[in-house]
Amino acid sequence: MVNRRSGGGTGNKWNWITLFPPYCFDSNFERWERSYASNNNKVREAKVSVDVDCVVIGAGVIGLAVARELAYADHEVVILEQEHCIGSGISSRNSEVIHAGLYYPPGSLKAVSCVDGKKRLYAYCEERHIAHRRCGKLIVATDQARLADLSAIDANARECGVSDLEWLSCDAARQIEPALECVAALFSPSTGIIDTHGFMLSLLGDAEDKGALIAYGSTVESIIPTLAGIEIRTTGFSEPQLRCRTLINAAGLNAGNIARSIVGFPASHVPKISYAKGNYFALTGKSPFSRLIYPLPEPGGLGIHFTLDLVGCARFGPDVEWLDSLNYEVDEARVDSFYPSIRKYWPGLKDDHLRPAYAGIRPKLSGPGEAAADFCISGPAEHGVPGVINLFGLESPGLTASLAIGGRLAKVIAPSGKTLAPDHQGL
């Protein structure tokens, strides 16, 4: 199950100097073990067969970006993925847009990591020849009453460090996109699209070249922090098979369940995760636009927008459908709300030209009617369990932000003096 493609892993011997992350280079584990033992009235005798420095749960774009950065920082890294391929979760069910970073509260993790991640992502795509296109996007106001909302986006973007937005009158917008209906638009030249799968493959290749291992078909079932490290058991085994010093929970929609499976983990540090499904409908026929077109944001999402893929196929979505349990089926009836929303900015949309495409699910830390929440990266300083880092609520713009988040974690975990990935500039 463990697949080593190539590269110079450092073997499985413990080296306490390099393997202890700085933040737990004290007796935290000892304290944890004692409290675990007293709470559970026993001391564990580990039978694990593999000791590694870092384990990353989840081979989506976030887990892969983190694994790559940690491998570049000379950590031994094992990625555990329940499926038999990379990126089959949220990472393969999104809009594949490189976001400019316009909407998020200034200083929030979403804002900072999106703006930083965008720069890193373009540089990375160019260096590695990953298919992408800096096509730009238009955010459109379709009635005068919403012009103030457009101004607010412009002001917010500037506060977030994005100062390249350009105001377009209706005529100017129509000159570049003749099919568009609007009263005014903001043009974002740094928005683009990317081949997400190509990106993830490249991240995995980088990580493997630096010695990281990926174990497919490995569903993490339980996690036990002990004095000797964090023990991990996957499906089909009665005892933990793996022990690590640092565990990164990048399990996307399942991150809350993983955190709950950590023995003794404080429940108060596992946020409620709400599922907000986003349905997409594809356009039959030729694309009416060559840039992305976004209406003004709506509660829970960015509005039913128009995106293109790299071969020029057009699709609309995602909408927002709150779910109680995971379900990826696109309900055809939802198309009824798509037509009027799209016709506000594209009156030329003909009846029966949309067909169900696919759906993705956002792991949201805010529920229906609540204000949008930030990403949550929660480590020992927050929850008190040594070596455990949980990533919760990594919804949009997680793809754009992935390299920045990887860099941020490597900075926390890397022993000082280690070489970080070439694009690592810190947050």
Ligand X SMILES: Cc1cc2nc3c(=O)[nH]c(=O)nc-3n(C[C@H](O)[C@H](O)[C@H](O)COP(=O)(O)OP(=O)(O)OC[C@H]3O[C@@H](n4cnc5c(N)ncnc54)[C@H](O)[C@@H]3O)c2cc1C
The residue from 52, 59, 67, 270 that contacts ligand X (CB under 6 A) is: 59
The residues in 261-280 that bind ligand X, with binding defined as CB under 6 A, are 278
Where in 202-221 is the site for ligand X (CB under 6 A)? Answer: 218-220
393 lies in the site for ligand X, by CB under 6 A: no
Q: Which stretch binds ligand X (CB under 6 A): 88-96, 102-110, 177-185, 203-211?
A: 88-96
- CB of 29 or CB of 387, closer to ligand X: 387
**55 near ligand X (CB under 6 A):** no
Decide if residue 58 touches ligand X (CB under 6 A). Answer: yes
| Binding test (CB under 6 A) with ligand X, winner from 18, 190, 254, 366 | 254
| DSSP sequence for 145-177 | GGHHHHHHHHHHHHHTT----EEEEHHHHHHH-
In the complex with ligand X, the residue whose CB is nearer, 168 or 220, is 220
* Residue 89 interacts with ligand X (CB under 6 A): yes or no: yes
Number of helices (H), then strands (E), belonging to the chain: the values are 11, 21
Beta bridge partner(s), residue 393: none
Tell me: does residue 398 bind ligand X (CB under 6 A). Answer: yes
Residue 259 CB-half CA count within 13 A:
29
CB of 82 to ligand X, least distance (A): 4
Distance, in Å, from the CA atom of 367 to the CA atom of 373, rounded to the nearest integer, reads 9
What 3 state SS string does 65-94 have?
HHHHHHHHCCCCEEEECCCCCCCCCHHHCC
Decide if 280 contacts 307 (C-beta within 8 A): no
Does position 246 interact with ligand X (CB under 6 A)? The reply is no
Is there binding between residue 320 and ligand X (CB under 6 A)? no
Q: Do 265 and 253 form a contact (C-beta atoms < 8 A)?
A: no
One-letter identity of residue 121: L
Minimum Å gap between C-beta 399 and ligand X is 3
- Check residue 60 for interaction with ligand X (CB under 6 A): yes
From 3-11, 34-42, 127-135, 246-254, give the range in contact with ligand X by CB under 6 A: 246-254
When CB distances to ligand X are compared, the closest residue is 398
What CA–CA distance (Å, rounded) separates 164 from 15? 48
Instruction: Check binding of 309 to ligand X (CB under 6 A).
Output: no
Q: Which stretch binds ligand X (CB under 6 A): 13-21, 319-327, 342-350, 390-398?
A: 390-398
* Among the residue ranges 154-162, 319-327, 356-364, 366-374, the one whose residues contact ligand X (CB under 6 A): 356-364
- CB nearer to ligand X: give 165 or 247: 247
Q: Is 250 in the site for ligand X (CB under 6 A)?
A: yes
* Strand-pair category, 192-194 with 97-98: antiparallel
Distance CA 207, CA 287 (A): 37
- φ, ψ of residue 315 in degrees (nearest 5): -145, 160
- 62-78 b/e (C-beta count within 10 Å ≥ 16 → b): bbbbbbbbbbbbbbbbb
Q: How far is CA 330 from CA 11, 300, 320, 343, 367, in A?
A: 46, 18, 12, 21, 21
What gap in Å lies between CA 71 and CA 208, rounded to an integer? 8
Among 397, 404, 406, 408, interactor with ligand X by CB under 6 A? 397
> Considering the complex, what minimum distance in angstroms separates the CB of residue 275 from ligand X?
9
Task: Check binding of 300 to ligand X (CB under 6 A).
Answer: no
400 binds ligand X (CB under 6 A): yes
**If binding means CB under 6 A, how many residues of this protein chain bind ligand X?**
43
Q: Does 302 bind ligand X (CB under 6 A)?
A: no
Position among 52, 54, 62, 214 found at the interface with ligand X (CB under 6 A): 62
* Bridge partner list, 15: none
By CB under 6 A, the residues from 358 to 377 that bind ligand X are: 360-362
At a CB cut-off of 8 Å and minimum separation 6, what does 143 contact? 183
Beta bridge partners of 166: 187
Q: Whole-number minimum distance, CB 317 to ligand X, in Å? A: 7
Q: Which positions touch ligand X (CB under 6 A)?
A: 57-63, 80-83, 87-91, 93-97, 99, 218-220, 250-254, 258, 278, 318, 360-362, 394-400
